[in-house]
């Protein structure tokens, strides 16, 4: 289990308010200079492509024969986008799935409809499906892709911990196996994997307090399922923002998205974690 030590803080700068069409932005991915996002439960099954120069929506990818039951995160590798329809606030869902969208089917410009492949899965360690809203540990809002696998991070409403689950990238029915767990001291809502630096970066917020945090795991080793050396960074100046998505776009640089709340508009932030991971700041 990854450990944290002294409190670290930073203040990511807001880049822009998100377009109103994605005010319920719930996940974030970056590929070839573009951001990919989506709304969460009950909205249309659409991936929105945002230009990072203008922060305007430049393309819509409609997933055919798909439903946005509770889309909670999006990630990518060099080949595909992966959309996680696995939000499970009440803990009773038995129709968890991941949509696979090949980049090869997405045109450079113009809206498009794509019929995705699907991964249908369940959590290996979940044995009860009784509805207990926000009183269980089988919610999930985070997915990342490595070269070999997909990884999910549970949202631990009950304990504040997070289990790491692993899946293959193959469509069909699968069982998500527990491979490790973390103690981020809060609710994980988004994930990304920086392949060049073998780094996991997670976003979340503290239950009831709504203070966002970033959680960094350097030197991730999926052959040995290592998740040691967690660095937790609090964002105290952003209390009240419902942070939902994170993705890397440059060396030590990350976009963070937050959905609209009663207090704040949906927003996109830029975070540079260089100082946080320097030799003098590692735990």
More confidently predicted of 223 and 23: 23
Closest by CA to 103, choosing from 198, 174, 34, is 34
Q: Are 139 and 89 in contact (CB under 8 A)?
A: yes
Residue 256 lies in a domain: yes
Residue 280 lies in a domain: no
Residue 222 lies in a domain: no
The two three-digit tokens of residue 247, written as one number: 């993705």
Average pLDDT of the chain is 94
Residue 206 lies in a domain: yes
Residue 202, helix vs strand vs coil: strand
Which residues have a Cβ under 8 Å from the Cβ of 279 and sit 6 or more positions away?
A: none
Residue 186 lies in domain: 13-215+234-272
- C-alpha to C-alpha distance for 205 and 251, rounded to whole angstroms: 24
The two three-digit tokens of residue 279, written as one number: 């030799």
**What is the pTM for the complete model shown?**
0.95
Whether 280 has a pLDDT exceeding 70, the answer reads no
pLDDT at 224: 82
Which pLDDT band, with edges at 50, 70 and 90, does 6 fall under? low
Spell out a b/e string for 228-242, using b for 16 or more CB atoms within 10 Å of the CB, else e: eebbbbbbeebeebb
Quickly list DSSP for 110-154.
S-EEE--EEEEEEETT-------TTSSS-EEEEEEE-SS-EEEEE
- Note the Cα 59 to chain centre separation in Å: 21
- C-alpha to C-alpha distance for 120 and 127, rounded to whole angstroms: 17
- C-alpha to C-alpha distance for 8 and 281, rounded to whole angstroms: 9
Task: Give the mean pLDDT of 33-43.
Answer: 96
Residue 276 is classified by DSSP as: G
Percent of the chain with pLDDT strictly greater than 90: 87
Residue 186 lies in a domain: yes
Task: Give the mean pLDDT of 235-264.
Answer: 97
For 59-112, how does the pLDDT look when each residue is reduced to its tens digit (9 = 90+)? 999 999 999 999 999 999 999 999 999 999 999 999 999 999 999 999 999 999
Lookup result for tokens 């959590």: 123
Residue 223, helix vs strand vs coil: coil
CATH number at residue 51: 2.115.10
Residue 278 lies in a domain: no
Q: Are 28 and 247 in contact (CB under 8 A)?
A: yes
Q: Are 119 and 170 in contact (CB under 8 A)?
A: yes
Name the domain count of the chain: 1
Whether 229 has a pLDDT exceeding 80, the answer reads no
Q: Are 2 and 183 in contact (CB under 8 A)?
A: yes
pLDDT at 2: 46
CA distances 93 to 43, 82, 96, 140, Å, are 18, 19, 7, 11
Phi (first) and psi of residue 237, to 5 degrees: -80, 0
Which residues have a Cβ under 8 Å from the Cβ of 83 and sit 6 or more positions away?
A: 27, 38, 47, 63, 71, 73, 74, 98, 99, 101, 116
């Amino acid at each position: 289990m990854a450990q944290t030590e002294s409190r670290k803080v930073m203040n990511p700068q807001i880049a822009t308010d998100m377009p109103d069409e994605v005010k319920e932005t719930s996940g974030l991915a970056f590929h070839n200079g573009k951001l990919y996002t989506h709304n969460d439960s009950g909205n249309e099954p659409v991936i929105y492509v945002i230009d990072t120069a203008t922060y305007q929506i430049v393309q819509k990818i409609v997933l055919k024969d798909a439903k946005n039951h509770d889309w909670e995160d999006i990630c990518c590798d060099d080949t595909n986008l992966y959309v996680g329809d696995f939000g499970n606030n009440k803990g009773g869902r038995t129709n968890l799935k991941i949509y696979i969208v090949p980049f090869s089917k997405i045109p450079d410009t113009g809206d498009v409809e794509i019929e995705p492949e699907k991964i249908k899965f369940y959590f290996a360690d979940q044995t009860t499906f009784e509805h207990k809203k926000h009183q269980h540990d089988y919610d999930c809002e985070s997915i990342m892709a490595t070269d070999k696998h997909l990884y999910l991070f549970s949202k631990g409403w009950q304990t504040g911990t997070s289990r790491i689950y692993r899946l293959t990238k193959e469509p069909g029915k699968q069982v998500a196996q527990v491979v490790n767990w973390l103690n981020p001291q809060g609710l994980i809502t988004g994930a990304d994997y920086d392949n060049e630096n073998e780094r996991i970066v997670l976003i979340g917020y503290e239950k009831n307090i709504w203070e966002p945090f970033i959680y960094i795991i350097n030197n991730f080793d999926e052959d040995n399922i290592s998740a040691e050396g967690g660095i937790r960074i609090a964002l105290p100046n952003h209390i009240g923002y419902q942070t939902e998505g994170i993705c890397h776009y440059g060396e030590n640089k990350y976009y963070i998205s937050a959905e609209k709340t009663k207090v704040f508009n949906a927003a996109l932030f830029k975070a540079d974690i260089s100082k946080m991971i320097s030799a003098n700041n590692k735990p």
